[in-house]
Amino acid sequence: MLVDAGIAIGGAGLTAVAAWGQAGLVGSKIAGPMWLLALLPLLVGVALVLRRRAPLLMWIAIWAGISLQYLITRDPPQELAFMVVLYAGAYSLGAHASVRRAAAGLGISVVMVLISEGALVALTRHSGSVGLGLDILAILACWLAGVFVRARRQSLALAGRNAELQRQAAQAAAAERARIARELHDIVAHHLSVIVLQAAGARASGKAEASLAKIEDNGRQALAETRRLLGVLRETGEETGLAPQPGIGELDALAGAVRAAGLPVTLVIDGDPAALPAAVGLSVYRIVQEALTNVLRHAGPACATVRIGCAEEAVTVEVTDDGSGEPGDWFPLSGHGLAGMRERAAIFGGQLSAGPAPGGGFAVRARLPLGDRS
């Protein structure tokens, strides 16, 4: 990046000033032979170009230059311009390295400061200990500032990601509700069409003409309003139709299609599904369809079992598999997925749960109450 290149050029310039310039107000010039003074700006200053891409490598390169200078001259660098570059490197290490790498780099710097300052001599003779402590504290302060900035940056990024996931979840739920409304329209419109035709046929036969005429008229108005509502919900270019939507009776065909795709499926239906409302049967079909699709996509080599229980008070749905897919794979960032299945259960006042099964694999369970069957 251009910013890192500029910082590296600035660091090399400051190191060159510390090596070739006049003695500063704090400390003295960097000592050493000519070749070392020419090499230090490259090792110490130019290494800052790696501050984002390889911060630990940058830090090691800086301390390699410091160690080389100390081994040759036995005189640790004290020039203020040089220390500014060192503090910039400490900040970059904390701000751009992982916690483990940043801690490793800090440990390296502490050891090298102790060596370059002659810690053992300082502790035994009580000389230079103040300068040693200040150097370590200054490096630690810059490192901590970088760590704080990195943590703050990650916190903001996580908050932004969570907000984006919530927005996508809300969009997926709204899209699924619109899809459910379109499918329910087809069911309602189909039944209204049957009512209108039956009323028209009865009126034509002369039986209760006035009442049947009113039924026919109301049915036609309801059908027109339903089609108008569908015009609002229907996406651009989406075809309309009055064909009945799939239900529990089509689960055999769905299981056969999934088997043909490579997933062994066992389908078990308890009770009599024939008396169920068409809307309930549609939701059961869609929940099973979505669950089996997710097994195909995420479970890996697996077998699936679908159990449908039809009782007077509720319909239960259970789709389990013995695959090895990760649970997180079941929560896509786009599309309907589990959010859509929950929406389908919620419109009947039901509940849906999904998660890893105790014996391995994944399980989706739903219960759709049938309290209002009129």
Residues forming beta bridges with residue 304, ordered by sequence position: 265, 321
Give, as one character, the DSSP assignment of residue 290: H
Look at residue 79 in the predicted model and tell me its pLDDT.
Answer: 62
Would you say 317 and 368 are in contact if contact means Cβ atoms under 8 Å apart? yes
Cut 0.85: pTM above it:
no
Over residues 263-268, the mean pLDDT reads 91
Res 242 pLDDT > 50: no
Res 118 pLDDT > 80: no
Residues forming beta bridges with residue 321, ordered by sequence position: 304, 362
For the ranges 9-18, 20-29, 30-39, 46-55, which has the lowest average pLDDT?
20-29
Give 255 or 191, the one with higher predicted confidence: 255
Q: 248-369 is classed in which CATH architecture? A: 2-Layer Sandwich (3.30)
Between the two ends of the chain, the Cα-to-Cα distance in Å is 68
Q: Are strands 304-310 and 265-270 parallel, antiparallel or unpaired?
A: parallel
Would you say 107 and 115 are in contact if contact means Cβ atoms under 8 Å apart? no
For residue 50, what pLDDT band results from cuts at 50, 70 and 90?
A: confident
Res 259 pLDDT > 50: yes
For residue 267, what pLDDT band results from cuts at 50, 70 and 90?
A: very high
Look at residue 278 in the predicted model and tell me its pLDDT.
Answer: 79
Look at residue 297 in the predicted model and tell me its pLDDT.
Answer: 80
How far, in Å, CA of 28 to CA of 12, rounded?
A: 18
- 85-109 burial, b if ≥16 CB within 10 A, otherwise e? bbbbbbbbbbbbbeeebbebbbebb
How far, in Å, CA of 63 to CA of 75, rounded?
A: 14
In the chain, the percentage of residues whose pLDDT exceeds 90 is 9
For residue 32, what pLDDT band results from cuts at 50, 70 and 90?
A: low
Look at residue 229 in the predicted model and tell me its pLDDT.
Answer: 59
